[in-house]
Structure 1
Amino acid sequence: MTDVVRVERPTEHVATVWLDRPDAMNAYNEALLTGLVAELESLDDDDSVRAVVLTGAGEAFCAGVDLTDMPLTPEMDFADYEHGLGLFQDVVRTIRSLSVPVVAAVNGYALGAGCDTALACDFRMVSTEATMGETFIDVGFVPGDGGAYLLPRLVGEERAKELIFTGKKLSGEELVEWGLARSCEPAGDLREAAESFAAALTEQPPIALAQSKRLVNESHEVDLETAFDHATRAQRICSQTRDHEEAVAAFREDREPEFEGR
């Protein structure tokens, strides 16, 4: 745990990760970027963690980049600029590569890089006070940390272009209507609802869940025959787990299975 990232364990198998710079609306600086990646990687190595909820302390999820403490500037040479932007990309890359599902509980502003962080999560649940926007165009930028890749996969190409080209912001129920969130919750109920949904996911067999996440994440990049090959390998892995044996036994014995992640 760092000064800018806080982790709580509301249930045995759920970890809630807080972006914890509320005075800066959880805007990204280098410490928050690197601290978040380190915490997520640590949780992924913890076999007791089967789902992660990502949220923001205070009134924002993440308002983008901290303009007073940026890890990159136009004056940098290309290698340094590439490294600085890579810190933002590492957040998206890490979330996408985690073996456990990640639920974004978007409690307020999720703008620019903060929006892309939410898009990288497997699910988004938003509060009535949430606002998301690809606001890079407002400062003459492009989505540099995954937005142009992730957004079309969620809402389609035309809607993605509208949001990216105009910087349009969506709030509350609009986010559900546009397909960017699975639900909109009253502000005071959001975290509990996200943790409850995450807890339900932890009841599934972890290895099968991880393999399923990998297959879905790569589905836009591989052809059907490659997808078949990867699914066959994943199914073979799952078929040799204790959890598969437990699922079959529970079905035969007419009881709920108890999965162990092995």
Structure 2
Amino acid sequence: MTKMTSEGLPAGFLEQLPNFKRISFAADSDGVGLLTLRRSDKLNAFDELMLREIRQVVWQANFNDKIKVLMIVGDGRAFCAGRDIMGLDYENNLSTAGYRAYVRANHEAFDDIEALEKPVIAVINGICAGGGVELAIACDFRIASEKAEFLLPENQLGVIPASGACSRMIQMIGIGRLKEMIMAVQPVDGVKAERIGLVNQVVPAGQLLDAAYAFARSLVSLAPQAVGMAKHIINTCQNVDTETGRLLERLGQSVLIRTQDNKEGMSAFKEKRRPKFNGN
């Protein structure tokens, strides 16, 4: 089992970013960063401050070579219940143009996660609703507890999920399943989420953090530039024709083939040993 500190962080963490009010962050000696949403009394619902703090961590992760993988978890019994409903009065009183600008800032927080050239794992322990689902699907991988529950309840408020659910999830789970979740407001438990492709792995609740760390550390051992390039090209290929996709693959490969990590990988293969990548 993963040992935890009194603050709820994995033991042995070396780097921490202090003074956050809505989240905590630390990174261990293996290169795994842990971003924890810390509004358990609100089921980790996010407000503008939490989104700004998430963006700060993701932005710094771009430039910190010690961080190889980022995991996002929720404190307490929820991953994230989406936007803090108490903040909707402010949103609803904005002008139409002002509202679009306001929501664009929210989109950019999730776009930052999607654009980070490092793997991001959503570790989903319980309730994952509304914008919490949209936060999770902006990540590259989702590992969920069998007790997790996914819900997009916006239609019950007379609106739609508008921060990525419609656009990101349609290729992930298909149009039929997406309509069930959005139009019919049908919940999805952890087991079904894995079956329909919403999560990559579902595990018993008591094994969630260990499973997430095991997967994260398997990613740490890979060549960083190759992982980052693969992420960009795969994400982009969702929205382009196949010929453009193949062009992107050629361009990406032409960069990677010149790296020291490629030379190391080839040498390790010939010598029948594990490669030691350094990101160059």
TM-score, L = length of structure 2: 0.90
Q: Which position in structure 2 is the counterpart of 1:158?
A: 176
Q: Deviations over 1:151-183 (max 9, x none)?
A: 111111111112111111111211111211122
Q: Which position in structure 2 is the counterpart of 1:259?
A: 277
Q: Deviations over 1:230-255 (max 9, x none)?
A: 11110011011110010011112111
Q: Hey, what's the Cα distance between the residues in 1 that align with 2:171 and 2:240?
A: 14
In structure 1, which of residues 246, 254, 257 is the aligned counterpart of residue 264 of structure 2? Answer: 246
Q: CA deviation at 1:70?
A: 4.2
Q: Deviations over 1:95-145 (max 9, x none)?
A: 110101111101111100001111111111111221111221111111110
Contact 2:150 2:188 in 1 (8 A): yes
For 2:202, give the aligned amino acid: C
Q: Deviations over 1:69-104 (max 9, x none)?
A: 348422211232123212321222111101011111
What is the SS of the residue equivalent to 1:69?
helix
Q: Hey, what's the Cα distance between the residues in 2 that align with 1:74 and 1:28?
A: 17
Q: Which position in structure 2 is the counterpart of 1:229?
A: 247
**Deviating more after overlay: 179-188 vs 199-208:** 179-188
Q: Hey, what's the Cα distance between the residues in 1 that align with 2:94 and 2:68?
A: 40
Q: Which position in structure 2 is the counterpart of 1:191?
A: 209
User: Runs of at least 4 residues of structure 1 off by over 4 A?
Assistant: none
Q: Give ranges in structure 2 of 5+ residues lacking alignment.
A: 1-16
1:106 aligns with 2:92: no
What is the SS of the residue equivalent to 1:49?
coil
- Which has the bigger relative contact order, CA under 8 A and spacing at least 6? 1
Contact 1:55 1:105 in 2 (8 A): yes
1:142 aligns with 2:170: no
For 1:157, give the aligned amino acid: I
Q: Which position in structure 2 is the counterpart of 1:14?
A: 32
**Deviating more after overlay: 104-113 vs 62-71:** 62-71
For 2:21, give the aligned amino acid: D
What is the SS of the residue equivalent to 2:143?
strand
1:168 aligns with 2:186: yes
Q: Hey, what's the Cα distance between the residues in 1 that align with 2:89 and 2:143?
A: 29
Alignment length, in residue pairs? 262
Q: Which position in structure 1 is the counterpart of 2:6?
A: none
Q: Which position in structure 1 is the counterpart of 2:143?
A: 125
Q: Which position in structure 1 is the counterpart of 2:72?
A: 54
Q: Hey, what's the Cα distance between the residues in 1 that align with 2:89 and 2:234?
A: 32
Contact 1:108 1:130 in 2 (8 A): yes
Equivalent positions of 1:184-223 (< 5 A) are 184-223=202-241
Q: Hey, what's the Cα distance between the residues in 2 that align with 1:83 and 1:71?
A: 16
For 2:124, give the aligned amino acid: V
**Cα 1:71–1:244, aligned 2, differ >3 Å: closer, same or farther?**
farther
TM-score, L = length of structure 1: 0.96
In structure 2, which of residues 41, 61, 65 is the aligned counterpart of residue 23 of structure 1? Answer: 41
Q: Give ranges in structure 1 of 5+ residues lacking alignment.
A: none
Equivalent positions of 1:25-104 (< 5 A) are 25-70=43-88, 72-104=90-122
RMSD of equivalent CA atoms: 1.4
What is the SS of the residue equivalent to 1:166?
coil
Q: CA deviation at 1:215?
A: 0.9
